[in-house]
Amino acid sequence: MPYVHDLGTNALMCVANNDHQTYQKKDTGTKWLRDSDGNMREVDIVTQREVTELAPITDQATALATVSRAMDLGLFPGKDQSAGQLALLAQVALAYRLDPLMGEIMPYQGRPYITIAGRRRLDNVAGHAVSISFRPPTPEEEAYYVKVGAIDERDVIQICVGHDVKTGATVEGFGRVLAGEGKDAPTNAQKFLPTVQRKIEMAQKRGERRMREEMFGPVAKPLGLEGIEILHEGDEPNVVEGTARVVEEDNKALDQGDLGSCTEHGDEWFVTEDNWGKVRASHKIQGTNDWCRFAIVEGANFQGAFAARFGEYKKPAADAWLKDNFNGKTWSKMEPREMLEARTLLTTITVEPPVVTEPVPDTEPSQPPPGDDDGPETDDSAVEDIITQEQLDTLLNLADCDEVSYYSLILRIQEVTGQGEPGKIPPAHYDSIVAWVNGEIDQAIAKEA
């Protein structure tokens, strides 16, 4: 950008032809506005906030409310985040003053994760000014990488070229998406994974993150966050970024405890959490490309333990027992640690089998959603999901009064569920029917008063 006397300022000039007077600037998502003092300020188009400003998060309550809002809006990849994980994310967001609503920070496998948008914000606040562009590797570079075994021919590679506007320094950051990255995820989940559907964009983000770290150094960790693991864009598993760190996934990080070894193959279980917050345990079967899943192996052990305890395995009875002992969860909704606890509980504590009515279904059996772990629920899948005998007794005892006749109860059940048999009430309608009974009783008492 030489000084142009006719303009009285520095200007961008084409080195090939001075007659080229125009240029196209990359869309940054910002615009320049003049403040009350007449100075030009770069402002984010969406938030109308100056890009050099920190997020308007000034206390823990505001941070937690913002994180919860982002969670409710579905901005995080995982569906279920524990209260502790959200509180930790809020603590880190407050310390860095990053905005989860703008995608600057989010949870990844239960840990705070600063995205490339967050890194850009921190660099802007620090006064760093860098222009960037991306390029694929040259044929010579790619041939050399393949020759030395550094890359696979199917890897997607993008090199981020960063130019420091203040110092004139130029740094290149190497980013790639591995050929097999994300292929082990369930088929229905792969269509949502950026490493499967948006390989070039992910490679560019990783290249930009590495370029920024090489040019400006890593982001310092604020006081109060000692001992807290914080990931940055590019720290995904099996990807080397920044200071040559390889971030490993481990069982302890997901707090699943000791799951032991696979009873079928003898290998240790590898625990992961997908983008929707589902925790799974598995291991790769040696000599193959197949994976052994904890839910299948432990599910067979659970069925055997249930049959040994109660004489036979029946899905409705097993589901009722699991719901009573594990906060209403059935097998596919449980985490590996809970599955192990369920099987262990059956073999160590004397319990009575639940009494479950088994009606004959009058409709086609429903299919489980794709991607659910196999386990005890695969057997007897044609049996309807109905309330337990204990719930049925509670309902009938409550309705056994002058205020509610048995006939009116049957009519109400038929109106809500489409059939008039109390023993076939689906669990989803149980609470509303009980609430109706209580309402009838309350109205009768109010009239008498």
381: confidence class by pLDDT, cuts 50, 70, 90: very low
Comparison of pLDDT for 128 and 368, the residue scoring more: 128
* Mean pLDDT along residues 392-421: 75
pLDDT, position 7: 66
**CB contact at 8 A, 282 and 265:** no
Q: Give the integer Cα–Cα distance in Å for 342 and 315.
A: 15
Higher pLDDT, 408 or 326: 326
Residues 276 and 356 in one domain: yes
User: What would the pLDDT profile of 289-320 be if each residue is shown by its tens digit?
Assistant: 678 888 888 888 888 888 888 888 888 888 88
pLDDT at 338: 85
Looking at the predicted structure, is the pLDDT value of residue 195 above 80? no
Are residues 301 and 369 located together in one domain of the fold?
A: yes
- Residues 429, 369, single domain; the answer is no
User: Are residue 181 and residue 303 in the same domain, yes or no?
Assistant: no
Q: Which of 385, 408, 428 is the last residue of a domain?
A: 385
Asked if residue 378 and residue 438 are part of one domain, the reply reads no
Tell me which residue of 329, 412, 424, 433 sits closest to 386, measured CA to CA.
424
In the prediction, which pLDDT does 27 show? 54
Indicate whether 180 and 205 sit together in one domain: yes
In a domain, 63, yes or no: no
Do the domain assignments include residue 55? no
* Range list of H helices, 5-78: 60-72
- Please say which residue of 385, 401, 430 terminates a domain: 385
Total count of domains within the chain: 4
Arithmetic mean of pLDDT, 41-53: 65
CA 248 – CA 252 distance, rounded (Å): 11
Whether 199 is covered by a domain: the verdict is: yes
Angstrom distances, CA of residue 416 to CA of 96, 358, 420, 433, 441: 51, 21, 9, 8, 19
Longest dimension (CA), the chain: 99
Verify that 196 and 244 share a domain, yes or no.
Answer: yes
Packing angle, helices 294-310 and 315-325, rounded to 10: 100
Query: What is the structure's pLDDT at 161?
Result: 94
Q: Is the pLDDT at 277 greater than 90, yes or no?
A: no
pLDDT of residue 370: 41
Q: Is residue 79 part of a domain?
A: no
Res 219: pLDDT: 82
* Predicted confidence (pLDDT) at residue 40 exceeds the cutoff of 50: yes
pLDDT exceeds cutoff 80 at 399:
no
**What is the percentage of the chain residues whose pLDDT exceeds 70?**
71
Mean pLDDT of the chain: 75
Residues 435 and 348 occupy one common structural domain: no
Chain center to CA of 424: 36
Work out the pLDDT band at 47, boundaries 50, 70, 90: low
pLDDT at 44 over 80: no
Q: Are residues 152 and 183 in the same domain?
A: yes
Residue 58 maps to a domain: no
Last residue of a domain, one of 385, 408, 435: 385
pLDDT given at position 394: 79
Give me the residue label for tokens 């023993």.
423
**Mean predicted confidence (pLDDT) in 260-274:** 78
Based on the fold, state whether residues 286 and 346 are members of the same structural domain: yes
Q: Are 324 and 354 in contact (CB under 8 A)?
A: yes
Residue entry with tokens 């310390």: 95
- In order of 135, 234, 392, the CA distances from 119 in angstroms are 21, 11, 57
Helices 336-348 and 315-325: crossing angle in degrees, nearest 10, is 100
Is 73 part of a structural domain of the chain? no
- Domain hosting residue 413, numbered range: 389-448
Contacts of 272 (CB under 8 A, 6+ apart): 109, 249, 254, 279, 280, 281, 282
The pTM (predicted TM-score) of the whole model is: 0.45
Would 41 be classed as within a structural domain? yes
In this prediction, residue 15 carries a pLDDT of 66
Residues 6 or more apart whose CB falls under 8 angstroms from that of 278 comprise none
Domain assignment present for residue 109? The answer is: no
The SS3 assignment for 172 reads: strand
Of 329 and 364, more confident = 329
Domain shared by 369 and 259, yes or no: yes
351 pLDDT more than 50: no
Q: Are residues 292 and 379 both part of a single domain?
A: yes
